[in-house]
Chains A and B, each alone.
Chain A
Amino acid sequence: MFKDLDPILHSQLRLAVMSLLIGVKEAEFTFIKENTNSTAGNLSVQVQKLKEAGYIEVNKQFKDNYPLTTCKITSKGVQAFEDYVKALQQYLDVGKK
C-alpha cells in the first residue's frame, strides 16, 4: 500500500526549505532565500504555509535595528519529513522494478 505524498511538502520550494532546515539547528530567512534561489515574497508565503502546518517555527525579532527572521524545524516537521522520504522511497523502489 503506497502512502500519499504529503501535499504540504510535495512542492518545490517548501520541500527545499524543509530539506535545508532538517540539517541545521536554525537558519535566517536570508540564508534560506539565498540557498533556495527564491524571491522574498514567494518564500514568505511558503514559510507561512509550513508554519501553519506546524512543521517549522518562525521567530521574528530585531537585531541592530534590522528585522531578523529565523526558522527552525519542529519535531512534527521532522516526523513529516521522514514520512515523506519513506513514501518517496516506496515510489522510487517501484520505479526501479
Chain B
Amino acid sequence: MSEEKELSQQESLSIIQMMINSAKDQQKDDGKGWIIWGWLLFAASVSTVLNLHFKWFNTFFFWNLFGLTAIVLLVVGFIRKIYQRKQRGVKTYTSELFRRLNSGFFVSLWFIILFINVASRQVTEWHVITNAGFALLVNLYAFWILVYGAAMSFKPSIIGAYISWGIGFGMLFVHQFEYIMILHGIAVLIGYIIPGHIANNEFNKLRRKG
C-alpha cells in the first residue's frame, strides 16, 4: 500500500473492510485445545468405565494417568504460547481475555480435584463426594465453554455449555460412579469435542480461503 494514492469513498470502505476482516481472522480459534482436552477427558471417562467393569487397576488409575498427562501438556502448552506470541505480533481483546481467565479456570479446576481427593478421604461414603465433585467439574466446564462461546460468538459452544450444565445437574442425582463417568464423558463430548471439531473445521476453511 502506498500513501500518495487519492482515495475514493468506495476504496476507503473496502480498505476498512479488508483490514477489519484481517484483524478478525486473528481472533479465530483453531479449536485444538478443546479437541485435545476433550479427547483426553473422554478417554479417561471411558477407560474408567471399562476399568470398573473389568477391574484391571484401582478405580482412579486412569484419572491419575490423565493428571500426569495434563501436567505435561500444560508445560508444553506454556512453552508453545511463548513461541506463538513472538510469531503472531498481535494482541486481540479476546486473546487477552482468555489469557487472563485461563489461569482462573485452572485454579478452580485444581481446587475441585483437590476437594475430591481431600474430602473423600475423610468420610466413609467417599463415592458421594466423588460423584458430587465430578458434577461440580462438569459445572465448571460448562461455565468456561459458555465464556468461550459468548466471547467468540460461537453457537456450538453456547449450546454445548447449556447441555453440559443439564448433564451436570442430572449427575447430582446419580449414585453409581460408573454412570457418573458415562455422563461425564457425554458432557465432554458435547461441550468440548464436537464444538472443538466444528471450530477446527471453520478455522481450516478460513485458512484455505486466505
Binds A, one of B42-50, B84-92, B125-133: B84-92
B-facing mask of A1-41, CB < 8 A → 1, else 0?
00001000011111110011111111110110001111000
Instruction: Report B17-38 residues with CB < 8 Å from chain A CB.
Output: 18-20, 22-24, 26-27
Q: What distance in Å separates the Cβ of B12 from its nearest Cβ neighbour in chain A?
A: 6
- B2 & A15 in contact (Cβ 8 Å cutoff): no
- A20 & B19 in contact (Cβ 8 Å cutoff): yes
- B20 & A27 in contact (Cβ 8 Å cutoff): no
- A23 & B20 in contact (Cβ 8 Å cutoff): yes
Q: A27's contact among B11, B27, B89, by CB below 8 Å, is which?
A: B89
Q: By the criterion of a CB under 8 Å from any partner CB, how many residues of chain B are at the interface?
A: 28
Tell me, yes or no, whether A42 is within 8 Å of chain B by CB.
Answer: yes
- Known contacts A31-B90, A38-B1; A24/B15 CB under 8 A: no
A20's nearest neighbour on chain B, judged by CB, is: B19
Q: What distance in Å separates the Cβ of A40 from its nearest Cβ neighbour in chain B?
A: 13
Chain B residues with CB under 8 A of A12: 1-3, 5, 7, 11, 15
- A24 & B19 in contact (Cβ 8 Å cutoff): no
- A91–B11 Cα gap in the complex (Å)? 12
- Known contacts A12-B1, A36-B19, A45-B3; A25/B89 CB under 8 A: no
B9's nearest neighbour on chain A, judged by CB, is: A91
Q: B15's contact among A16, A25, A27, by CB below 8 Å, is which?
A: A16
- A16–B19 Cα gap in the complex (Å)? 6
List 19 A-B pairs, Cβ < 8 Å.
A11-B3, A12-B5, A12-B7, A12-B15, A13-B2, A16-B19, A19-B15, A19-B18, A19-B20, A20-B19, A24-B90, A25-B92, A27-B89, A28-B89, A36-B1, A37-B1, A38-B2, A88-B12, A95-B9
